[in-house]
Amino acid sequence: MKRILIIAGAALILLSGCSGKDGGQTGNATSGNLAVWTFTDEIGEMINNYYKPAYPGVTIELTMTPTDQFPSKLDPALSSGQGVPDVFGLEADFVRKYVESGLLLDLTDLYEANKSKLLAYPVEVGTYNGRVYGMSWQAAPGAMFYRRSLAKKYLGTDDPAVVQTYFTNFNKFLETAKLLKDSSGGNCVVVSSLGDIMKVFLGLRKQPWTVDNKLVIDPVMEEYLDICKVLQDNRWQGRVGQWSEGWFAGMNGTLKDERGNPVEVFSYFLPTWGLHYVLKTNAPDTSGDWAMIQGPTSWRWGGTWIAAYKDTNNPAAAKELIRYLTIDDGFLEQWAREKGDLVSNLNVVNKIKDDYSDPFLGGQNHYAEFAEMAKKVDGRLSQANDNPIENYFNEVATAYVNNEKTKQQALADFSSMVKAQFSLE
């Protein structure tokens, strides 16, 4: 579990030599000192193996710390202006908190100079009031990964193009869930956990959680409650928690219900990194028996952004580091070919996307598929309080599907909790 979180953005780099409150000197893009904090060892690898050889005149210090300690370290530094890093990584769950803080270096000029080749949604997440404050080298669109053998057995085909027709929207999703259950004599569930589909519904929203200091519950989130209740009541899902032992067991075909009967799990909703660090890691013996489709909609999960302190002593070097790690064609092509990471530079994506074939997916080109999915993701709804608000919603959703609350009670309790926590009207 720890390994998965680190890949998705779960560690932090602490550095010395940080900027002071009275910084802001012009500096030099190719020389000087930079302190960098991040939450993933990927940034450390990028800097040590690629950036430093290309920019020997810039001195960078790095120290790693777990993600859950990141805000508690960064927040006091930013509020006091003392010991603030020049450049730091920001995880998807809290990137907007800092993008909206007014304490980050404006990167709009980097974006404007390169926008024709950049994927839209990562920049949208890093944008506030029309200015760009965070950039990302990667994209993490989500997909629906399914077992080919189960698709052949119960749908008559494992062809992704055909299987997608069974999951084009959530009405079709429910129809197919029933088909799988009925055709298997009750053994096959469409997903192992209700947690798998929440982020998919978040991707369907047309409105953010708050507008003009008022809570907004997009109608699709009420639909999410309805879908979850149907899946729960009909036992069309495996009734295990996401990230639980049972959740992983479903990947390798060893999940059993409370009576000890085997449960076949048809699919998992996972992002780009989920293929390499969840499925491959936890179900290696199933290699070749998976394929992927978009499913009901486009959505995203995770990712890493890079930002700089507005009063950094060396803004030129800070910007150049961010440009190199998130935009540079040459570096990102090397990184993408070595790691298989879906990068946000479309020049690179278009150059390399046709060369991939993943044996774990039965030879399917996941890179090209993900590249198309990423273009449909909308990052404009992102707000600073998304993560805690979504945790509250998940809490009441669980109570509702377990018959502990009515739907009306769940929504009312959610509204009360959020309004009280964030002083909303």
Q: What pLDDT digit, counting tens, does each position of 306-318 carry?
A: 999 999 999 999 9
Q: What pLDDT digit, counting tens, does each position of 116-170 carry?
A: 999 999 999 999 999 999 999 999 999 999 999 999 999 999 999 999 999 999 9
pLDDT at 27: 64
Q: Which residue has the tokens 């950036």?
A: 51
C-alpha to C-alpha distance for 140 and 222, rounded to whole angstroms: 25
Q: What pLDDT digit, counting tens, does each position of 381-415 carry?
A: 999 999 999 999 999 999 999 999 999 999 999 99
Q: How many CA atoms lie within 13 A of 255 on its CB side?
A: 28
Q: What pLDDT digit, counting tens, does each position of 66-93 carry?
A: 888 988 999 999 999 999 999 999 999 9
pLDDT at 63: 74
Domain architecture of the chain: domains with CATH: 2-140+301-359 (3.40.190.10), 142-300+380-389 (3.40.190.10)
The conformation of residue 277, written as its DSSP 8-state character, comes to I
pLDDT at 24: 35
Residue 30 neighbours by CB under 8 Å, 6+ apart: 55, 57, 58, 317, 320
- The CA-CA-CA angle for residues 301, 303, 309, to 5°, reads 140
Is residue 17 over pLDDT 70?
no
